[in-house]
Amino acid sequence: MRGLALLFALAACSEYDLGNASDDPKTPDRRDTDTPPVDTSTTPDTSTDTDSGTVVVPDDTGDDTTPPDTDTPVDVPDGKIDVVLLIDVAYIYDCYHADLPANTDALVRALLDSGANVAVSIATYDDYQVSGEWYAASGGLPYALLQQITTDRSGLLAAASRLSLDWGGDGPGTGLEAIVQATTGDGYDQSCDGRFDATTDIRPFNARSSDAFGGGATGSAVTSTPGTGTKPGVGFRDGSKRVVVILAENTFRDQGESHDFPTGSCSAAKTITAAVNGLTSVDAKFLGVNAYEFQDIDTALQGQLVDLARSTSSQIDADNDGAYDDVAVLSGSWDWPATDVVMKAIFDLAR
């Protein structure tokens, strides 16, 4: 199936530069020339329904698949909510890509303006950098923490504005590695030499003797970050309800699927089980967003997302019937779902 998709994509994508997301011929309305870009100087209006006590968040995605008058009422949960956004920045043979800066900007604004006690972290993943290997990424990293948990709007929006695509080598990417790093903060030492290499490795969140470098590499945690916590791997706050959201554009590299992995690393090759164990270790729920262009003919990513959601008992009310009995995976398009749909799913998991 993947070979068929590749042949299709090569024919369909031959007239534009895959490395430049702004050249995509099929883009969300928010990037059309007739539609102004997201205004980063303002925030979306919200209104409170005094009868239901819910916040109604306008649909600010500009996605023409969602009618403009279908605002989704979002119940705001009590207590502290920590949201981790793990964003796939790899491209390979797929033609169409979500506008990562605009989508992330809109979601961050909606979360911070919801009235919830919410803090957000932003991280990206691409693939492993292995010299001479056909599958390796070029320019990207298996995981990069752009912003640890924070309530600081300016820091989060600055991180969103820096998002861009990198060449991903082959199809599978390091989504499972990203989940493990975001929940454990162990770091990754590809050459197993105990020294941090910025071109291939991942810093631990807090340096300690049990991390991938045996405590020999500086951690990425910044204790002065506004509104952050101290718990690995992104600074979760004490007593918070935690939701890890992965926004994926292709399959996850999985040892259980016999995918290629770097040899000689100090870290074991990642599996669904390792990712589930990481999520469980920080008592986090999981939300998967499937933005893979060829998901209709290549269902591997959807299966992985469903496995992660089911293994962490992550369920939402996707059909708005009042029952939280739907697996926490949003799919159906190469673009992200509408901002209010994603936020509702996050808050369903934090209820």
What 3-state DSSP class applies to 284? strand
- Please say whether the beta carbons of 308 and 288 come within 8 A: yes
The pLDDT value given to residue 290:
97
The pLDDT value given to residue 36:
31
Encode pLDDT of 228-240 as tens digits.
999 999 999 999 9
Q: To the nearest whole number, what is the mean pLDDT of the chain?
A: 81
The pLDDT value given to residue 340:
97
Under CATH, which number does the domain 2-36+53-349 receive? 3.40.50.410
Q: Where are the domains of the chain?
A: 2-36+53-349
The pLDDT value given to residue 75:
87
**pLDDT band at residue 32, thresholds of 50, 70 and 90?**
very low
Range with the poorest average pLDDT among 43-52, 89-98, 277-286, 329-338? 43-52
What is the per-residue DSSP string for 94-110? Answer: ------HHHHHHHHHHH
**Alpha-carbon radius of gyration of the chain:** 19
Task: Report whether pLDDT(269) > 90.
Answer: no
Encode pLDDT of 112-146 as tens digits.
999 999 999 999 999 888 776 656 656 678 999 99
Range with the poorest average pLDDT among 45-49, 102-106, 192-196? 45-49
d(CA 57, CA 49): 11
Over range 177-193, report the average pLDDT.
Answer: 96
> How far from 208 is each of 23, 196, 211, 331, CA to CA, in Å?
44, 14, 6, 38
Task: State pTM to two decimals.
Answer: 0.81
